[in-house]
């Protein structure tokens, strides 16, 4: 199985705290972690841990922030095609606060706004292993459009999965061409935007709803677990969904596997500690 993940990489600086700071207040964290982040990058880490060949197509660059993110990704088995190779770019640093009592997270990040406009050529993509499934997160619009156009021209054509967390204008070009849109409950697209033939919608602790390209609909229950850290749970869901689809699972079975993996992720504190339990699950 070869899975491409095209989109955002950040460096996440994560503090866990028993209280939330008020205006002009300083607090002491009970834990700190630093890891690569971003929807595509975190999904790739999950996929690699599940045994797929996970190839991240993203912009990291040669700077110290990008090097730190690269080191974390490579330690977890992710192969990287860096669209900013040889250049120093202002890779986004995300400030993350995790509530020690509830596991809920708050994130402040420039996302891809500091490095927008980075693209990839067909010649670059030709040099990569052919994908079975491609995930797009839409954070680098030019990159997403180029990867989509390339994948659409392949024979056999890989399955295209769209990670739709928040509406972005580029989704108007991506949704109608994707085979599956995996969206959050808060995602809203304009009425005139073409939809994917299959959709998956997460609703926090409520059942995940889905509709496949044959019109079958269903809801997959989310197990009740001790939630300790929700950071990256959606990315883990998407990484597991992609791997299951690459293995040939139908959408219902793929959603069930994604729910299993995301439910495991939220039970462990820290961005990577849960992976040891995933590999033997």
Query: Has residue 281 got a pLDDT over 80?
Result: no
pLDDT at residue 52 in the model: 97
- Average pLDDT taken over every residue of the chain: 95
Query: Has residue 135 got a pLDDT over 90?
Result: yes
What is the DSSP secondary structure assignment for residue 266, as one 8-state letter?
Answer: T
Mean pLDDT within 139-167: 96
- Nearest in space to 261 (alpha carbons), one of 272, 275, 250, 271: 275
Mean pLDDT within 250-264: 98
Percent of the chain with pLDDT over 90: 91
CA distances from residue 202 to 42, 61, 68, 163, 237 in whole angstroms, order as listed: 17, 33, 31, 11, 9
Whether the Cβ atoms of residue 184 and residue 167 lie closer than 8 Å to each other: no
**96 Cβ contact partners less than 8 Å away, ≥ 6 residues apart:** 12, 13, 14, 15, 37, 105, 106, 107, 231
147 versus 117: which is more confidently predicted? 147
pLDDT at residue 280 in the model: 53
pLDDT at residue 115 in the model: 79
pLDDT at residue 118 in the model: 83
Tens digits of residue pLDDT in 210-254: 999 999 999 999 999 999 999 999 999 999 999 999 999 999 999
What is the reported pTM? Answer: 0.95
- Burial pattern 154-192, b for ≥16 Cβ within 10 A else e, equals eeeebbbbbbbbebbebbebbbebbbbbbbbeebeeeee
- Nearest in space to 36 (alpha carbons), one of 5, 8, 6: 8
Query: Has residue 156 got a pLDDT over 70?
Result: yes
Tens digits of residue pLDDT in 33-83: 999 999 999 999 999 999 999 999 999 999 999 999 999 999 999 999 999
Whether the Cβ atoms of residue 234 and residue 243 lie closer than 8 Å to each other: no
Query: Has residue 262 got a pLDDT over 60?
Result: yes
Out of 54-68, 105-119, 136-150, 250-264, pick the least confident.
105-119
């Amino acid at each position: 199985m070869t899975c491409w993940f095209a989109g955002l990489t950040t460096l996440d600086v994560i503090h866990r705290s028993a209280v939330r700071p008020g205006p002009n207040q300083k607090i002491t964290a009970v834990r700190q972690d630093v890891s690569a982040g971003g929807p595509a990058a975190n999904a790739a880490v999950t996929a690699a841990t599940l045994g797929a060949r996970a190839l991240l197509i993203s912009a990291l660059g040669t700077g110290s922030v990008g090097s730190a993110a690269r080191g974390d990704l490579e330690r977890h088995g992710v192969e990287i095609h860096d669209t900013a190779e040889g250049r120093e770019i202002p890779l986004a640093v995300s400030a993350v606060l995790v509530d020690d009592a509830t596991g809920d997270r708050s994130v402040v990040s420039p996302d891809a706004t500091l490095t927008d406009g980075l693209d990839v050529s067909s010649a670059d993509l030709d040099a990569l292993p052919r994908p079975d499934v491609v995930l797009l997160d839409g954070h680098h619009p030019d990159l997403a459009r180029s990867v989509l156009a390339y994948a659409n021209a392949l024979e056999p054509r890989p399955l295209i999965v769209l990670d739709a967390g928040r509406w972005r204008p580029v989704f108007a070009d991506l949704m109608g061409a994707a085979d599956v849109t995996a969206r959050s409950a808060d995602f809203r697209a304009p009425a005139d935007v073409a939809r994917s033939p299959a959709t998956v919608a997460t609703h926090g602790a409520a059942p995940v709803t889905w509709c496949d390209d044959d019109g079958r609909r269903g809801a997959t229950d989310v197990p009740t677990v001790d939630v300790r850290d929700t950071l990256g749970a959606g990315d883990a869901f998407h990484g597991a969904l992609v791997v299951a689809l690459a293995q040939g699972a139908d959408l219902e079975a793929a959603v069930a596997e994604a729910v299993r993996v995301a439910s495991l992720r939220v039970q462990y504190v820290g961005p990577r500690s849960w992976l040891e339990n995933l590999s033997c699950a």
